[in-house]
Amino acid sequence: MLFALAVVAVAVVALPWNADVAPWAPLELPTISAFTAEQIATIESYVNAVWLPSLLSIIAGPVAAVTVLLVPSLRQRLCSFGPARRPVLRDLLVGALLLVIVRVAALPWLLWTASVRREAGLLLTSWPEELLRWLAETAVYVVLGSTGIALALSVLRRAPRRGWIALVVLGVVAAALISAVVPLIQRLEGTQADARLAARVQAVAQDLGVDVGDVVIIETGDRSPVLNANVSGWGPTRAVTLYDTLAAGATEAEIDALVAHELIHVRENDVVIGSVLAVLGTGAVVAFAAALVLSPGVRRRLGARSSGDAPVIPLLVAVVLVGALAGTVLASTASRQIEARADHEAVAATGDPAAYDDLMVRLATTNRSTLTPPQWRYALFFTHPTPLQRLAATSSSD
């Protein structure tokens, strides 16, 4: 409860709340006139084809975990794997198997999404390359996840009453570390030297008086023509990351506008705010999961003899995945507020609203960004204002 209250307090105090991008904000805007009829039709065709598999790929894993938890025969069969006399090994095997199930449950929808993206020209890699990528990501997910599960149950066996405190601390620390190492993970995509792009970032940073940190250009053009940039990490790991597709896909004025947007995030410490919210949210989810595991009634229904017994594994995984999904929904509302401020401040900093308008149109047409989503999809999943909202905000700041 304390973590949840802390999330609310930080969100209320630190976020630049703007009704124009609230969950109920109007989405049908006259700025759609910035797009041609052909552009609108192309974007709508792609969005109509991709939104359902994308949504199903997001919820399939949590649904699979909850299904295993709620169906006694599945839960019991899963927890029978592994040697009972070697609990750590058993926990690793049971956790790994459940996480594989979670990943495989999402695979059909990921393949469907990839197929739509390929038909739209947004995915350029071959199917074998995509499969190898998925296998590598799954291996990392399963190894790290099952290790975390085994560690959590070991703590609960050693400290049945107070172990939950250690679990919350470990969860909070893990969330903070993940936030810090995101730039390092992004570099696994492959980096390239692009003196022109790096120089433009430094020039805009100097104009804004911002300490930019590292400038990283990652190679994505061989996989997708999508244009993007982001700021990630904090402290010594902070970096501004640009896709190499910007060099060929955007004008210099548009690149400057995009870089200014990202540097506003740096200036306003938006990554730190997001990291604090993520850390507090993680603490809330872990504390809730621990409370359920420590409940005698819950353990009795699961058939668990103690808080460190194997039948609690499906409960832990289900709560964490559902909590992460709920956190994603809540984070979308917070993210839209931060992004709206960055849009407004970037236009004010560059003094070139026309370039920002051109950038919004180029991003929307190249990346096939949804122009007028249904209100529920916007409220739940949109981390950025829609292109029409961003164009309207740019016009209002002119």
Structure tokens at 346: 């970037």
Catalytic residue among 38, 130, 252, 262: 262
Structure tokens at 307: 């808080």
Reported as half-sphere exposure (CB side, CA atoms, 13 A), residue 44 has a value of 10
> What distance in Å separates the CA atoms of residue 353 and residue 131, rounded to the nearest whole number?
42
- Evaluate whether 186 touches 179 at the Cβ level (below 8 Å): no
Note if 262 is an active site residue.
yes
Sign of dihedral through CA atoms 46, 49, 51, 56?
negative
- Evaluate whether 50 touches 395 at the Cβ level (below 8 Å): no
> What distance in Å separates the CA atoms of residue 78 and residue 226, rounded to the nearest whole number?
41
Structure tokens at 300: 């009795």
Phi, psi of 35 (to 5 degrees): -110, 145
Nearest to 201 by CA among 213, 191, 190: 213
DSSP codes, 108-169: HHHHHHHHHHHHTTS--S-HHHHHHHHHHHHHHHHHHHHHHHHHHHHHHHH-TTTHHHHHHH
Cα separation values, 145 from 151, 246, 332, Å: 10, 35, 25
Residues marked active site are found at: 262
